[in-house]
Amino acid sequence: MTLNTHSWQEDNQLQKLDIVAQAIIEQYCDVIALQEVNQHHLSTVISEQTLSNHPVREDNYGYLLQQKLAELGHHYQLTWDFVHQSYDVYQEGLAFLTRLPIIEHQVIDLNDHYDESNWKHRRAVRIKVVYQHREIDFYNCHCGWWNDKESLFTDHLNRITAVLSSRLSFLLGDFNNPSHIRNEGYDYALQCNLYDCYSISESKDTGTTVIKNIDGWQKNTQALRLDYIFSNQKVAVMQHRVIFNDDFYEAVSDHFGIIMDVTIVTE
């Protein structure tokens, strides 16, 4: 599953956390990639061990979701990595929740001269997990816009794909490039030898993840597919479905999420 959470910019977010936790449990999610996972820069640092390059605080969206899942009897390991300052008082980052063993964790700077105070500077996060004795990489991605010369999408994707190994890898997240526009970010991803799991899925819906004007897309008036799950190998995708869209679970963010069922061949 992947979801741009919009974190503490959402109203009634604690109630929405309950919806996300319920969906994760009911849909048997093994790996969840979350973007825009915020915490207030003055809140208390927690003492629990997490995989992070920065202190996790008690109001961290990912941490609260992990605790909610634990209360319901489901253990998920949390990673949270700081990306940049956001909305003056928040530290924004990327989070993974997974019930699979994490054996590697890597933060990838996507801009030169990285500046955490610059909201356009991006990072990606890679975890390597073990699924039935097979090692698989997952990349949590929140990229910039195609036409933003300050922080180019092509630079971001190039730095991510440069560290891809021959292992099966999935790139999940908000790529900020609509699928219907030719010769821009979506097509560039396909030129980088990535497979759009939506396109190769046996069962799918419209794939739409944004339906209105939102942060970063203030002038938008149409349905967009901005959030993706890509793979570096052609895999057997059984179902690719939009989630948290008021049809399949209530909306919890300005983005809808994606949930995918994939058959992994194990050795």
77-95 pLDDT, tens digit per residue, is 999 999 999 988 999 999 9
Average pLDDT over residues 19-25: 98
DSSP 27: T
Mean pLDDT of the chain: 94
**pLDDT tens-digit series, residues 44-64:** 999 887 888 789 999 999 999
pLDDT at 51: 80
Q: What is the CATH number for 137?
A: 3.60.10.10
pLDDT at 223: 87
Q: Looking at the predicted structure, is the pLDDT value of residue 214 above 70?
A: no
* Structural domain that includes position 56: 2-263
HSE, CB side, 13 Å, CA atoms: give it for residue 182.
0
**Residue corresponding to tokens 């008690």:** 58
Q: Looking at the predicted structure, is the pLDDT value of residue 217 above 80?
A: no
Cβ neighbours around 120 below 10 Å, total: 12
pLDDT at 162: 97
Q: Is the dihedral of CA 49, 253, 245, 120 positive or negative?
A: negative
d(CA 75, CA 97): 9
pLDDT at 220: 66
pLDDT at 213: 64
Largest alpha-carbon pair distance within the chain? 48
Average pLDDT over residues 146-160: 95
For residue 218, count CB atoms less than 10 angstroms from its CB and return exposed for 0-12, middle for 13-18, buried for 19 or more. Answer: exposed
Quick one: angle between helices 61-71 and 13-26, nearest 10?
A: 50
Q: In what order do the strands lie in the sheet with 77-86?
A: 77-86, 90-98, 31-40, 2-4, 257-263, 236-243, 203-204
What is the tally of structural domains in the chain?
1
d(CA 233, CA 225): 21
249: alpha, beta or left? (left if phi > 0; alpha if psi -120 to 50):
left
**Amino acid occupying residue 104:** E
pLDDT at 212: 75
Percent of the chain scored above 70 by pLDDT?
A: 97
From residue 187, give the alpha-carbon distance in Å to each of 128, 159, 168, 192: 27, 17, 21, 9
SS3 231: strand
Of 203 and 150, the one with more pLDDT: 203
Strand partners, 128: 104, 137
**pLDDT tens-digit series, residues 219-257:** 766 889 999 999 999 999 999 999 999 999 999 999 999
